[in-house]
Amino acid sequence: MLPPLFRKVFAELGDEGVLCVAKHHKYPCLTAFGLSRTDNFEDILDKEEENAVRRDLDFDRDLRSTQMWTFTEVPYDKSGRFILPPRFCKVGGIGDNICFLGGGQFLTLWDLDKLGQMGGGWQDQYELCLADAEDAWAKAKGKGK
């Protein structure tokens, strides 16, 4: 279920009801965004290319463009419920425990265990997601009584 904060952001962007889901190009997770983000893809590519040139790094614009445009539109209802296509669970390494990170124009969907293995600067995000998951597990356990 898409958390309320993200539903609110997407609604404000005019993207209510549809998530564009793709494999993240760098991290072992998925990314999701609203359709309006595609309007900025060329600008994003320009900035990424400029940054690569400035840092004397290779940049394959065709590959990066393909990565950006390879997404699937996934509908969600007013409660934020959506069904993640199984192929995305596979490529994103998503198991039973999914967590959402991000904000702004996109978010990331992580398997909780994979996020916990990231270490470094990801540790705080993992701890926050773990706390949310523990709260959800406790609520689900309480409803099962």
Tell whether 126 is covered by a domain. Answer: no
List, in order, residues 6 or more apart from 39 with CB less than 8 Å away: none
Q: Which long-range contacts (CB under 8 A, 24 or more apart) does 64-69 make?
A: 64/25, 65/41, 67/22, 67/23, 67/25, 68/22, 68/25, 68/41, 68/44, 69/38, 69/41
Q: How many domains does the chain have?
A: 1
Tell whether 32 is covered by a domain. Answer: yes
Tell whether 138 is covered by a domain. Answer: no
pLDDT tens series, the chain, 145 aa: 777 777 777 777 777 788 899 999 889 999 999 888 899 999 999 999 999 999 999 999 999 999 999 999 998 888 888 888 888 888 888 988 889 998 667 889 999 999 999 988 999 999 999 998 888 778 777 776 5
Range of the domain at 26: 4-112
pLDDT of residue 27: 92
Question: Which amino acid belongs to residue 129?
Answer: C
The token duo for 31 is 């990314």
Radius of gyration of the chain (CA): 17
CATH number for the domain including 41?
Answer: 3.40.1550.20
What is the pTM (predicted TM-score) of this model? 0.83
